[in-house]
């Protein structure tokens, strides 16, 4: 079953929630909706499911117009970020409930429950009640109930957000493997760029109710169309500054200069917006074209085995995404290094003109490796 959103718009109390969205999802595909809170992800999924009707536009399934068809008449499942299970039913009965509603026979129900529970590794907990489970086991139970229906469309509304880091990593891997062998359309909403990269498939970047870019996840990450997409698909967000290109040099923030290289020379003289990913900045020179910038430390934010280092000088404000733990005193004077070949360049309207000439290659498993990829 294919799913097509044709010019979907949703207005609520005079406020535009979804603005002219056109998307097409194929059977067996895994599709990520990436956007900040209130970008329209949940509303869009509710429109896909039939829980809400669009103000204008059509929802098509296999070419048939399903816009006015209620959710009960569609073969759709949904998994939410909260662990929504029936507290008075065992894990077995929770998983079996959709099949019982459909009138399946007892033998079929038992076989499917045990098969689905085994896939999600909760086969040893079938006799337990939901409140006797860990958070990860409760979410697996909710996922099993959604999967057992063999729905044409399964919607995941930030289902892992309430789990700890280790459980999230584990379930992401399981989900990727699970949907490789199913002919279901999976749509997964997240606010986190790294989660989108880990899940792979395709990604739609949503911003203020609009689908601003759609494509293979690695392609959208490596080749953002606009400043907005590049910012949204970067964690922390892309470092941005205005600047200009002359006949011989590039000037950032009116004060930071470096020689014009062959990459940027083709853009011509003028004013531009320049961007660099936090993960591309370093504390030590690595590349021949690294630009040394003197800054002072504002904050060293340690998260697990990573450090988000916030620095600034009179003209520039930057964030570095560093592997490892780095501790600095506030206002410490340090130098950071920006590889000029990894700079994104946008026109003054925010449209992409140049991507880095050497990008990390992100595969469908979300693994990043070094490599050369010309853009």
Domains along the chain with CATH numbers? 3-228 (3.40.50.300), 233-354 (2.40.50.140)
Tell me the mean pLDDT in the region 78-92.
89
Do 84 and 103 meet the contact criterion of CB atoms below 8 Å apart?
no
Beta bridge partners of 154: 77, 186
Q: What's the Cα-to-Cα distance from 264 to each of 210, 272, 317, 342, rounded to whole Å?
A: 31, 11, 22, 11
**How many CA atoms does the CB half-sphere of 170 hold within 13 Å?**
11
Tell me the mean pLDDT in the region 14-41.
95
* pLDDT above 90 for 135: no
* pLDDT above 60 for 362: no
Residue 374 has a CB neighbour count (10 Å cut-off) of 9
* pLDDT above 60 for 367: no
For 187-200, write each residue's pLDDT tens digit: 999 999 999 999 98
Do 213 and 229 meet the contact criterion of CB atoms below 8 Å apart?
yes
366: pLDDT confidence band, cut at 50, 70 and 90? very low
CA 207, CA 205: separation in Å to the nearest integer?
7
Tell me the mean pLDDT in the region 98-126.
92
CA 243, CA 348: separation in Å to the nearest integer?
10
Closest CA to 21 of 6, 39, 33, 4: 6
297, containing H or E segment: strand 290-303
Tell me the mean pLDDT in the region 282-297.
94
CA 254, CA 274: separation in Å to the nearest integer?
12
* pLDDT above 80 for 333: yes
For 139-148, write each residue's pLDDT tens digit: 889 989 988 9
Q: What is the pLDDT of residue 358?
A: 55
Cβ neighbours of residue 91 under 8 Å, at least 6 residues apart? Answer: 85, 117, 122, 125, 126, 127, 128, 129, 130, 133, 141
374: pLDDT confidence band, cut at 50, 70 and 90? very low
Whether the pTM exceeds 0.75: the reply is yes
């Amino acid at each position: 079953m294919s799913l097509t959103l044709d010019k979907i718009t949703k207005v609520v109390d005079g406020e535009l929630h979804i603005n002219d969205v056109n998307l097409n999802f194929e059977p067996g595909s895994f599709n990520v909706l990436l956007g900040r809170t209130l970008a329209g992800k949940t509303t869009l999924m509710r429109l896909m499911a039939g829980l809400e009707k669009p103000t204008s536009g059509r929802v098509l399934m296999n070419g048939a117009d399903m816009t006015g068809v209620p959710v009960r008449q569609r073969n759709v499942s949904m998994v939410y970020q909260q662990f929504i299970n029936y507290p008075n039913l065992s894990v077995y009965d929770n998983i079996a409930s959709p099949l019982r509603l459909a009138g399946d026979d007892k033998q079929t129900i038992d076989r499917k429950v045990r098969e689905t529970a085994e896939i999600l590794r909760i086969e040893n907990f079938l006799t337990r009640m939901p409140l006797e489970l860990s958070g990860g086991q409760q979410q697996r139970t909710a996922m099993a109930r959604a999967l057992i229906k063999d729905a044409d469309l399964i919607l995941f509304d930030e289902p892992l957000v309430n789990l700890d880091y280790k459980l999230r990593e584990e379930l992401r891997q399981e989900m990727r493997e699970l949907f490789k062998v199913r002919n279901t359309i999976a749509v997964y909403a997240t606010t986190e760029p790294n989660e989108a990269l880990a899940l792979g498939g395709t990604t739609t970047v949503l911003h203020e109710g609009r689908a601003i870019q759609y494509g293979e996840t690695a392609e959208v990450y490596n080749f953002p169309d606009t400043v907005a997409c590049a910012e949204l698909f970067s964690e922390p967000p892309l470092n941005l500054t205005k600047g200009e290109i002359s006949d011989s040099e590039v000037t950032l923030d009116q004060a930071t200069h470096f020689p014009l290289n062959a990459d940027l020379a083709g853009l011509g003289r003028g004013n531009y917006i320049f961007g660099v990913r936090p993960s591309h900045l370093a504390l030590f020179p690595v590349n021949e074209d690294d630009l040394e910038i003197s800054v002072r430390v504002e904050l060293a934010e340690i998260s697990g085995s990573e450090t988000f280092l916030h620095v600034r000088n009179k003209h520039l404000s930057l964030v570095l995404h560093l592997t490892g733990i780095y501790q600095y005193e506030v206002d410490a004077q340090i130098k950071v290094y920006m590889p000029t070949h990894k700079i994104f360049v946008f026109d003054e309207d925010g449209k992409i003109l140049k991507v880095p000439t050497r990008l990390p290659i992100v595969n469908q498993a979300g693994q990043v490796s070094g490599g050369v990829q010309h853009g």
